[in-house]
Amino acid sequence: MIFAFYKINMLFIFKRISILVIIIMLDQVLNKTTEHVYIIAEIGINHNGNVDTAIELIKKAYEAGVDAVKFQKRNIDEIYTKKLINDPNQGEWNIEYLINELKLLELSKDDYDLISKTCKELNLDLIITPFDISSVDFIMNYNVKAIKNASCNMTNYKLLDYISSKELPVLISTGMWSDDEIVESLKYFKEKNINYTLLLSNSTYPCPYEDINIEYINTLKKYSDVVGYSGHEKGTFIPIAAVALGAKIIEKHITLDKTQEGLDHKASMEPDEWKEMVCNIRLLEKAMGNNKVVNQAEMLAKQSFCVSTYATRNITEGEIFSDEMYILQAPGKGILQNQLKDFLGKKIKRNIKINECIDSSFFEETIQIKDWQIRNFKKIWGLKCRFHDFPKYSVLSAPIVEFHCSQKDMYDSLTGVMSKSSQLVVHAPEIVDKMLVDICSDKEYQVTRSLDILQHSINRTIELSKNFKGKPKLVVHFGGMLREPGVDIDELQKRLLNKAITNFKKLKFDNDLIDILPENLPPKPWYLGGEWNQYGFMKEDDIMTFCDRFNLKMTFDICHAKLYCNCCNKNINDYVKKIKNYVSHVHISDTQGINGEGIQIYEGDTDFKPIFEELKDIDYSWVTEIWAGHLNNGKEQYKSMQLLDDFNEYI
């Protein structure tokens, strides 16, 4: 299967989709107040008349992440003729087979009591299809969220009248009926004010692909405010395609074993298929946006691959920008070709050196770093830069200077990096030999190289600290990320933590000379041109366990924590309460969704006040970490510090 590697392993992202089930109910889907796709696992008669099997199917559906399970209820004495019931052999072979099966498959009231109780315990909606009037009365004894009307009863107006009198949503399958017949029935539905939703269906078990006619969903959209798909074909991909076409309700049959004898098993999906389908629908929901948004990985790619303006000579403040002053080269950190028209002919506001990247800041009234006005914050504030930027920032005599380092920085000799007025913080490299630094990895070479660069980082930090004030801090990412979603997340996270503990012991350092501060990491970080899945050093309990094991404090990245909480439906204030006594250093930036990090203050979804209030009695240092904050003479970094002045009483 093309999506098989995902399966339910996206459990980490959704942290069991039942969290959403509690919040997003069927009425929100029907009222179009959510983009959530409502997924129904049709157990139907695949329980084979055994309530224990029914309960097992409910639990398997729950594990797959569905919103609802559905059953069927019949009183065959009310549906079929007495003569046929007494002697099914009088009917055609298909009717004879059907009657004999249905006699064996009805569940009792006690069975439904247990089914209803199980659904309630698992926060699953219960939906039942009644095939006759007395069955409608029967199912109303249970807290059904909707009534499903079978395809065979789309024109059974007497039954539909009685169903609609119960004032519940009515989901109507359209198998067996032509477009003309559907349109004719719509007149009746509207005349009787039935609260209906139409589902595309084909009543063949299993249905051939060529008979599905999935694009008919677009026609159903003209007939029904919300449309769905009730499938009987083999495989998982048709419902996903239906969602792409606009279906907001998906129904498929679930079975424990497709090879069983019975009416519906051959047209059903087994639990692993259900996990795959649900997960891929949830992924598709995320992919269904209609805006063209450039994400952070693309911004990095733009810088890496696009060409922009570089000075061909020394340019003096006051000159008018013209074509002869620049050449187009990569990286694209300056003015891009499509932006040139906005700058040609404008006056340059600062001197530009030959070969220097020309960006928009050279045309603005930029506040020079030496002129920054920074208030005296209550906590130990600092600035973030690279070694080569330090001469510009050193004039501020910030209490803390955090250097974000590359592998090359750790091995090169350095001169001139010193400040007796600033405490040193080094952010250890995250990349080594084109690999992620990861002491949790199963690849021994990666672990060896990761430990090597971390040991160099420790040694270099201690060496550099002799030219700075006080005891240095080393911010470290210990890894625990995978390209693809992992399997058995709880066990995976335990294994990664244990590997980190085992490998960290191999590093040599003196706690009296350096504070090593593991940083909490985001759920979907951007590395090496793409998005990864984070499993290590993200959960607060894992970080606390690691810190306790080695008597360490931590770097608390507010943005990373908020992304994790957004992802797993947690409250960041609860997160902060748990980890606050471990905090020694803080990274501050805003957040968007589950993967938007480094957002400027107030431009994301983080409420900083309760976070800072919770940390007010903790002794820590902090810096801001704004995406590309170092560009344009540190413009965005300075802006973030000005905005944080609103919280001066806490930080």
pLDDT, tens digit, 9 for 90 and up, residues 190-217:
999 999 999 999 998 899 999 999 999 9
Written out in words, the top-level CATH class of the domain with range 381-646 is: alpha beta
296-363 domain in CATH 3.30.379.10?
no
82-91, 120-129, 471-480: range with lowest mean pLDDT: 82-91
Whether the domain at 296-363 and the domain at 381-646 fall into the same CATH topology: no
Asked if residue 606 has pLDDT above 90, the reply is yes
What pLDDT score was predicted for residue 633? 79
In this structure, what token pair is assigned to residue 629? 């904050």
What pLDDT score was predicted for residue 568? 87
CA dist 546 and 529 (Å) reads 29
Question: How distant, in Å, are the alpha carbons of 97, 130, 486, 495 from that of 50?
Answer: 19, 19, 35, 40
Beta strands 481-482 and 533-534: pairing type? antiparallel
- H-type helices in 414-539, by residue range? 444-465, 489-504
Three-class DSSP category at 406: coil
Burial class from Cβ neighbours inside 10 Å (0-12, 13-18, 19+) for residue 490 reads: exposed
CA dist 476 and 437 (Å) reads 9
Task: Please give the torsion angle defined by the CA atoms of residues 8, 9, 12 and 17, in that order, rounded to the nearest 10 degrees.
Answer: 0
Asked if residue 13 has pLDDT above 50, the reply is no
What pLDDT score was predicted for residue 228? 97
Beta bridge partners of 309: 328
Asked if residue 97 has pLDDT above 90, the reply is no
DSSP classification of residue 627: T
Confidence of residue 12 (pLDDT cuts 50, 70, 90): very low
Identify the residue with better confidence: 76 or 522: 522
Beta bridge partners of 42: 70, 253
131-135, 267-271, 411-415, 417-421: range with lowest mean pLDDT: 411-415
The fold of 7-287 is TIM Barrel (3.20.20)
Asked if residue 406 has pLDDT above 70, the reply is yes
Each residue's pLDDT tens digit, 235-288? 999 999 999 999 999 999 999 999 888 777 888 999 999 999 999 999 899 889
- The answer to whether 150 touches 130, Cβ cutoff 8 Å, is no
Of the candidates 558, 612, 556, 610, the one whose C-alpha atom is nearest the C-alpha of residue 584 is 556
CA dist 420 and 432 (Å) reads 31
Between CA 531 and CA 537, with CA 533 as vertex, the angle to 5 degrees is 125
Asked if residue 476 has pLDDT above 90, the reply is yes
- The answer to whether 625 touches 400, Cβ cutoff 8 Å, is no
84-98, 405-419, 511-525, 591-605: range with lowest mean pLDDT: 84-98
Asked if residue 486 has pLDDT above 70, the reply is yes
Confidence of residue 139 (pLDDT cuts 50, 70, 90): very high
Of the candidates 490, 501, 543, the one whose C-alpha atom is nearest the C-alpha of residue 520 is 543
Q: Where are the domains of the chain?
A: 7-287, 296-363, 381-646
What pLDDT score was predicted for residue 3? 34
CA dist 321 and 334 (Å) reads 14
Asked if residue 560 has pLDDT above 60, the reply is yes
- What share of the chain has pLDDT > 70, as a percent? 92
What pLDDT score was predicted for residue 94? 57
In this structure, what token pair is assigned to residue 91? 């009917």
What pLDDT score was predicted for residue 87? 62
Each residue's pLDDT tens digit, 31-63? 999 999 999 999 988 888 899 999 999 999 999
Each residue's pLDDT tens digit, 168-194? 999 999 999 999 999 999 999 999 999
What does the mean pLDDT of the chain come to?
90
Question: How distant, in Å, are the alpha carbons of 392, 453, 455, 601 from that of 409?
Answer: 18, 10, 13, 29
Half-sphere CA count of 29, side-chain side, radius 13 A:
27
Between CA 128 and CA 134, with CA 133 as vertex, the angle to 5 degrees is 80
Q: Please give the average per-residue pLDDT across 94-111, as a whole number.
A: 74
Neighbours of 103 (CB within 10 A): 13
In this structure, what token pair is assigned to residue 433? 């030999």
Q: Who's near 639: CB < 8 A, 6+ residues apart?
A: 600, 601, 626
What pLDDT score was predicted for residue 10? 41
Identify the residue with better confidence: 621 or 85: 621
In this structure, what token pair is assigned to residue 432? 């080594």
What pLDDT score was predicted for residue 528? 78
